[in-house]
Structure 1
């Protein structure tokens, strides 16, 4: 089928509508309706669960080698749809089209990686001290419910779908209602690759109409969420009712420590590039900048220049280097954080408001703040927007303590030319992932996830598939 609008996928069939009224998707660049999506509810959830229950025995019995072949076919089908997926992503969330294919490539790598993981589900045999053999066998945990956010609408579902399928689990995906077409294209690639009916299903629509029914279902044995910490806490409480296994990639508020012995200007270029990527709507975005006092002027000068060089515009324009925020509510929040910081003594070095040449769309200028006090809300709350608050430090111990001052622990970064400082920063920064002189911490072959209020479990790497498995021990002894 040729996909040009969002569909739900239930029992192997794509559905254009449900009995409920379809929901609009708003273009963040123009504030106009992009397309309508099916609104699933309790009836569709129950139907999807019925298909998943029926699919579980056969899919879990498929050898990992064969599941790996299907995952690799999904990767090739994704490659064939790369441009279409990138265009849908760009339209739905407002990311520049010139940057969108990169995410599709990262998602393709997830399917290729977990194809190999499916082939390596061997278990182990241990010789018993009492005689016989102790056999350790990985088994699929069961039906998985996957809830993904809108800011990376290709890679986030792929990180959940790929390990679930590799482990032998049927998976029901509920994407954010902002990105239904992007998810539909992923589902089309999976169906075309030969994923059996009921093994992958997609329920589009409002979270409140779908998620509670999946959370109450006893047969859903695992949930995987990418979302905010408050939502994660709520789902963890609900998961306790039926003792579901949980993977949670939640909020972050990543600090960056810039030492005077680093290449400060090069660090500033990297900081600007990754801060303003996707208009700052990245869970591992650098959010709080602690710069050694003696070099803060040099750092600010370069970062401001990089921010001013960005071309703000429509996401479908190939010359655009930063698009709008995806949601009006997101822009409103960021504007409030800027106002609070200024009220507390921060200085706007560049940006700070809505661009004068844009009267439509959720645009906000790339903004750099200096002299930001630690009690400003933006140093405490994740902004999820294109604002870089900069402050200074004198000692490394002070920088590490302030970097660790929030309850979040997803990612942290540092720039230094000293191996000894790099070791100290790596050990001292409380986070699931640390980048030293680099922001490149997300790879298909490495674990991705946080600690504390940033969640639990890992996506990516050999560790991720373990969250989709039960481990069975059999003591095989003969009389």
Structure 2
């Protein structure tokens, strides 16, 4: 790692607290590294306890303002922020590529999508209806849905725009304020997003952005009586720690955690089409997606054709700097991920797996790893039970669908799953029996803002997206009003 400043430019990063941009109170910072070059391109301020207290007080004040702002006015401000996100998508995408590594087209597309997510949630807030319940004469019985209060949100680095915006858009649409702890590895994207809300006229204190040592920040925010909801996207182990901390102070939490998504390619599926679609999803964002297909269970009659087409698709991927024209897969986001995928690959090979393509890092600077396809992968290989979160594709055969379903459901995770079949009856069986919160048949599509996403088992609880997205951020209150007597 070198300290040469990236010649393509990287913006100065600050926290945003109470409507003002600021440095760390103690001037503590951490480096930001371009994963394509391993060069330090900037710094990120790290919050002190005093900074966090300021953010909490700002969120407390901001909640009272935002909660009492008419929903039509809130919606108008959020739409203005969405318009700014759209206009600035190219700029935000470029910053995202510098600090996270994904190809510029992916990054810019992500920035544009989050604007639509914000518009969807802003409009859905106008439909957060209560109801009047028929009751005894002289009694008015109603149900109200009210914002829960200030939210502490924690998001990772793999989707530097998508992760923060799913939390921000839901919280603000519901009428909550929020303290967002974004990733220290992708801070400039988060700051650029927050800047759109500030420029759209969001009242001071409604949205606050901090960075810092994760364990210290989470402990401080979760323990504060100001915070009423914890929202987290990230790994299962960290999610368990945060959920336990929230439980100790009896606060609800929303947990969108990791997975290990199986793909079942049935005997009647088109193997070439299934392989192309699955490979496209596998290598998106260099496999650093919690819903990424990661275990490929292929009927033995389709194994040879599926594998050949998947290898062909993997070898067509152009690995390089995300800012270079023609790149279709960038580097892994950090050295930790590179070390992890090297370890998983070496373990599988040691246990008898065959590397059909890839399996190594190229001879260049940056955290690159070639798109990798493995066959003959034994059940006890670590990549069959550990989420790879990288461009690794283990392919294993099955003979009966019962067998494939048993393998697919054998892990404690249940975020996403995929199936390929031409049979309506088989599709229905996959829908009924696969243990996952998100299931795609004959494609490997990602999350959409108009429908819910979330996991079962150790992949978390609560939903983001669709009308369900606001549920965690709203409190249901029963009001019984005796009108006479």
Q: TM-score range by the shorter chain?
A: over 0.9
Superposed displacement of residue 174, structure 1:
0.3
Superposed displacement of residue 30, structure 1:
0.7
1:154-190 Cα distance to aligned partner (Å, 9 max, x none)? 0111110011011111100000111110000000001
Superposed displacement of residue 318, structure 1:
2.0
Say whether the 8 Å CA contact 1:71–1:114 is kept in structure 2.
Answer: no
> Bigger CA drift: 293-302 or 117-126?
117-126
1:19-52 Cα distance to aligned partner (Å, 9 max, x none)? 1322110110111111111111211100111111
For residues 229 and 137 of structure 2, what CA distance do their matches in structure 1 show? Answer: 35
TM-score by structure 1 length? Answer: 0.97
For residues 441 and 80 of structure 1, what CA distance do their matches in structure 2 show? Answer: 24
Say whether the 8 Å CA contact 2:117–2:169 is kept in structure 1.
Answer: yes
2:362 is the alignment partner of 1:362: no
For residues 93 and 374 of structure 2, what CA distance do their matches in structure 1 show? Answer: 32
User: What is the SS of the residue equivalent to 2:73?
Assistant: helix
> What does residue 7 of structure 2 align with?
none
Superposed displacement of residue 58, structure 1:
1.9
Superposed displacement of residue 123, structure 1:
1.0
> What does residue 389 of structure 2 align with?
384
2:386 is the alignment partner of 1:394: no
Say whether the 8 Å CA contact 1:143–1:220 is kept in structure 2.
Answer: yes
For residues 408 and 301 of structure 1, what CA distance do their matches in structure 2 show? Answer: 29
For residues 105 and 122 of structure 2, what CA distance do their matches in structure 1 show? Answer: 29
2:78 is the alignment partner of 1:75: no
For residues 345 and 311 of structure 1, what CA distance do their matches in structure 2 show? Answer: 28
Q: Work out the number of aligned pairs and report it.
A: 476
> What does residue 208 of structure 2 align with?
201
For residues 234 and 127 of structure 1, what CA distance do their matches in structure 2 show? Answer: 43
> What does residue 463 of structure 1 align with?
468
Instruction: Structure 1: state its 5+ residue gaps.
Output: none
1:264-312 Cα distance to aligned partner (Å, 9 max, x none)? 1011001111101111100000000000001111011111011111111
Superposed displacement of residue 411, structure 1:
0.2
1:294-344 Cα distance to aligned partner (Å, 9 max, x none)? 111101111101111111111110211111101101111111111111111
For residues 113 and 464 of structure 2, what CA distance do their matches in structure 1 show? Answer: 13
- Choose from 304, 309, 312 the match for 2:316: 309
User: What is the SS of the residue equivalent to 1:54?
Assistant: helix
> What does residue 71 of structure 2 align with?
64
Say whether the 8 Å CA contact 1:126–1:135 is kept in structure 2.
Answer: yes
For residues 128 and 317 of structure 2, what CA distance do their matches in structure 1 show? Answer: 46
- Choose from 472, 479, 483 the match for 1:474: 479
For residues 132 and 112 of structure 1, what CA distance do their matches in structure 2 show? Answer: 38
> Bigger CA drift: 3-12 or 245-254?
3-12
TM-score by structure 2 length? Answer: 0.96
User: What is the SS of the residue equivalent to 2:301?
Assistant: helix
- Choose from 84, 98, 102 the match for 1:91: 98
2:244 is the alignment partner of 1:237: yes
Say whether the 8 Å CA contact 1:29–1:361 is kept in structure 2.
Answer: yes
- Choose from 326, 345, 352 the match for 1:345: 352
Say whether the 8 Å CA contact 1:372–1:390 is kept in structure 2.
Answer: yes
User: What is the SS of the residue equivalent to 2:228?
Assistant: strand
2:290 is the alignment partner of 1:287: no
User: What is the SS of the residue equivalent to 1:6?
Assistant: coil
Say whether the 8 Å CA contact 1:258–1:292 is kept in structure 2.
Answer: yes
**Cα root mean square deviation, aligned:** 1.3
- Choose from 417, 436, 440 the match for 1:435: 440
> What does residue 422 of structure 1 align with?
427
For residues 138 and 427 of structure 2, what CA distance do their matches in structure 1 show? Answer: 50
For residues 27 and 75 of structure 1, what CA distance do their matches in structure 2 show? Answer: 27
Instruction: Structure 2: state its 5+ residue gaps.
Output: 1-9
- Choose from 232, 235, 254 the match for 2:261: 254
2:448 is the alignment partner of 1:451: no
2:409 is the alignment partner of 1:404: yes
1:68-106 Cα distance to aligned partner (Å, 9 max, x none)? 111111100101211111011111111011221111122
Superposed displacement of residue 127, structure 1:
1.6
Say whether the 8 Å CA contact 2:37–2:366 is kept in structure 1.
Answer: yes
Superposed displacement of residue 205, structure 1:
2.4
> What does residue 12 of structure 2 align with?
5
> What does residue 36 of structure 2 align with?
29
Say whether the 8 Å CA contact 1:67–1:118 is kept in structure 2.
Answer: no
For residues 394 and 54 of structure 2, what CA distance do their matches in structure 1 show? Answer: 48
For residues 116 and 230 of structure 2, what CA distance do their matches in structure 1 show? Answer: 22
Say whether the 8 Å CA contact 1:64–1:121 is kept in structure 2.
Answer: no
User: What is the SS of the residue equivalent to 1:244?
Assistant: coil
For residues 146 and 320 of structure 2, what CA distance do their matches in structure 1 show? Answer: 49
> What does residue 124 of structure 1 align with?
131
For residues 408 and 129 of structure 1, what CA distance do their matches in structure 2 show? Answer: 47
User: What is the SS of the residue equivalent to 1:385?
Assistant: coil
1:449-472 Cα distance to aligned partner (Å, 9 max, x none)? 001100000111101101001111
